[in-house]
Structure 1
Amino acid sequence: MILRKLSVLKLTALMESYASNNNKGSLNWSVPRFIRRIKVPDYKDRAVFGVPLLHNVQRFGQALPQCIQRALAFLRRTALDQVGLFRKPGVKSRIQKLRASCENNPELSTFDDCTAYDVADMVKQYFRELPDPLMTMKLSDTYVGIFLYVPEDLRLQTLQAATMLLPDETRETLKTLLCFLSDVAARSGENHMNETNLATCFAPSLFYQQYGNLKTMTSASPKVRKQQKVPGVPIGRPDIKEMNENMASNQCLAFMIKQVKNL
């Protein structure tokens, strides 16, 4: 708690200093509130997908379900050389079968009849369907704001302060994912997936976006955007603010993957 209070002080000083000097004070950044918990959908009939990380800790003693941990281990062991890992889609029918196996057996350890792309797609879907994204609804704006307003030489310490404010189970899960993605990026000469490419694949799933009902608008097609008719967003295309924030979220995640050990 002492570390968190000090982190709040540092984060507030940095964000208010640089954010208020940009955009003529129009940034509505404020210290995130941690008292009220975010309501999540009912997940009582699920074991893995769409289940809060805290519930996993209470049930299994670990934030990430065993099947997701073993999926990451499987990919690290067998697939780091696969071209377009996380970018190339898997086969929908096999992914659905794999998801069902995980739901029925959260400690699933085998991935027979699946390709690396099937397993990678399932992992990406797991993070996309978390009730509260890894950067959390409360702190996503802060992470984005760091890359919109804070100078480059101060970003690492600002990110460290923000990350200290994440719930323990979320911070541990983020560390696990970033370390794994760093290993993938280290083999980018073979798999063509460097930090920037991986961030493009994962950022829409890890950051909460204000556009649309949740974080879906960032990856929605023009047809979907037209159907949703989000107030203030031009039909069929994002506005400048959204594009800048999407770019900042990608830059943030790419930086965190590259600097995970220092972070």
Structure 2
Amino acid sequence: MAQSQQQELPNVDGLVHTHPLVVGPSPLFEYRQQGPSSSPLKMPQGSSIPPPDLHHSPWRVIFPHVKLDPRSLQSKEWKQSVIAMNGHEMIYSMRYLHQSLSQLDELSGAPRGIFGVPISIVTYRDRSRVPLIVRNCVEDVERRGLEELGIYRVSGIATDVQTLKAAFDSNPKDALLQLKNYDVNVVAGTLKLYLRELPEPLLTDELIPSFVSAVALDDAVAKEQQMMSLLNQLPDPNLNSFMYLMKHLIKVTEHEQVNKMTLHNLATIFGPSMLRMKNEGLPMNISQEVVAQVQVVYYFLSDDKLSNVVQRQRTESVSL
């Protein structure tokens, strides 16, 4: 029987090798192969070490798949161990590292921040059916701004809106604590800015032309059937956020006598950001485009249409 040989693995060009599937809030474990100089290989908790690409790297031994047991890896001190591999032994050391979501985003290559980031990524990070920035701004407006004259129509100070935007992008928890220090119109303006800067409008590039066509139908029954069918075709984060905002705007109009904001006012404000059009296959001038955008949002705000939306089964723990 062949004698086991101990082999120290070479460093790969001094580069840091990162697992390509590092997503989510899991802690990481850092591995260093032994040698004159060592480079870390970060792996998510509970994952296996992937075999290297022998055709495109200088590795000459194959890693076995090693299951990590989180209970045995809580120490932050380096722990050395040996793995036997086909007549060789790999000496390695590891220690527990905790990674924040921002660090995980950096490792995985996901876009950072909140503004300009796809809503599906934001809701995944937030572990919420609705982006927390939307929820936080809405709750603050409902707490302080329902009787504010011209809420959502009156612009907040632009520099304050940009400051609050930067706060949400860098540290959403701190931004939430700062909300009460800003004028409520700044909070409302930050919510509108978030919707305008979504890389894809809330009602999606794919479905917006169909919404515009459906809302123009003369047959009321056919219009309702098509509008509701389209709404239920939206991705979950988009549908949840749209419904959440519609319910909020209806609540705003319940104070119309004081804040002077009607359903049509609010549809006019939110329609262009929720249904930004590419104008592909829709020969419209700007005025026709705005009218169509307003009509779609107004349709869902009026007559309690949202009660007819099919509720899908979801596993998220956070409710609307």
TM-score by length of 2: 0.57
User: Does residue 1:146 correspond to 2:214, yes or no?
Assistant: yes
Which one has a larger percent helix, Structure 1 or Structure 2? 1
Give the partner amino acid of 1:168: D
Whose relative contact order is higher, 1 or 2, with alpha carbons under 8 Å and at least 6 apart?
Answer: 1
Distance 2:287 2:217 in 1: 15
Whole-angstrom distance in 1 between the partners of 2:194 and 2:171: 15
Pairing 1:190–2:258 present: yes
- AA matched with 2:307: K
| 2:140 pairs with 1:93 | no
For 1:37-96, what per-residue CA distance to the aligned partner results, in whole angstroms no more than 9, with x for missing partners? Answer: xxxxxx955321111111123322224332331111010111111111111100011111
- Tell me the residue number matched to 2:223: 155
Letter in 1 for 2:125: R
Counterpart Cα distance in 2 of 1:83 and 1:149: 35
**Contact 2:133 2:191 survives alignment (8 Å):** no
Partner of 2:65: none
Give the C-alpha shift of residue 103 in structure 1.
1.1
- Asked if 1:261 is matched to 2:307, the reply is yes
User: What letter matches 1:175 in structure 2?
Assistant: M
Match of 1:231 in 2: none
- Among residues 235, 242, 248, which one is paired with 1:180 in the alignment? 248
Aligned to 1:202: 270
Residues 110-154 of structure 1, C-alpha deviations (whole Å, 9 max, x = no match): 313311110000000001111111110000011111122342343
Can you give the 5+ residue segments of structure 2 that lack an aligned partner in the other structure? 1-108, 310-320
Q: How does 1:108-123 map to 2 (within 5 A)?
A: 108-110=175-177, 111-123=179-191
Gaps of 5+ in 1: 1-42, 213-238
The superposition leaves residues 179-230 of structure 1 with CA deviations (integer Å, 9 ceiling, x where unpaired) of: 1111112211111111110011111101031249xxxxxxxxxxxxxxxxxx
Q: Give the counterpart letter for 2:245 in structure 1.
A: L
More strand by share: 2
Question: 1:230-249 CA distances to partner (integer Å, 9 max, x unpaired)?
Answer: xxxxxxxxx86553343122
CA distance in 2, matches of 1:64, 1:99: 18
TM-score normalised to the size of structure 1?
0.68
1:227-238 aligned within 5 A: none
Query: What's the Cα RMSD here?
Result: 2.4
Q: SS at 1:149's partner residue? A: coil
Q: Which residues of 2 match residues 1-263 of structure 1 at below 5 A?
A: 44=110, 46-107=112-173, 108-110=175-177, 111-211=179-279, 242-258=286-302, 259=304, 260-263=306-309
What letter matches 1:248 in structure 2? A
CA distance in 2, matches of 1:88, 1:95: 13
1:150-171: CA deviations, max 9, x gaps? 4234322221100111111111
Q: Which amino acid aligns with 1:138?
A: E
Task: Determine helix, strand or coil for the equivalent of 2:172.
Answer: coil
Contact 2:130 2:240 in 1 (8 A): no
Structure 1 pair 253–96 and aligned structure 2 pair: CA distance change class (3 A): same
Q: Matched residue of 1:156: which SS?
A: helix
Deviates most, 180-189 or 123-132: 180-189
Q: Which has the larger radius of gyration?
A: 2
What SS does the corresponding residue of 1:112 show, helix, strand or coil?
helix
- Identity rate, percent: 26
Q: Is the 8 A contact 1:85 1:120 kept in 2?
A: yes
Aligned residues: 197
Q: Is the 8 A contact 1:128 1:205 kept in 2?
A: yes
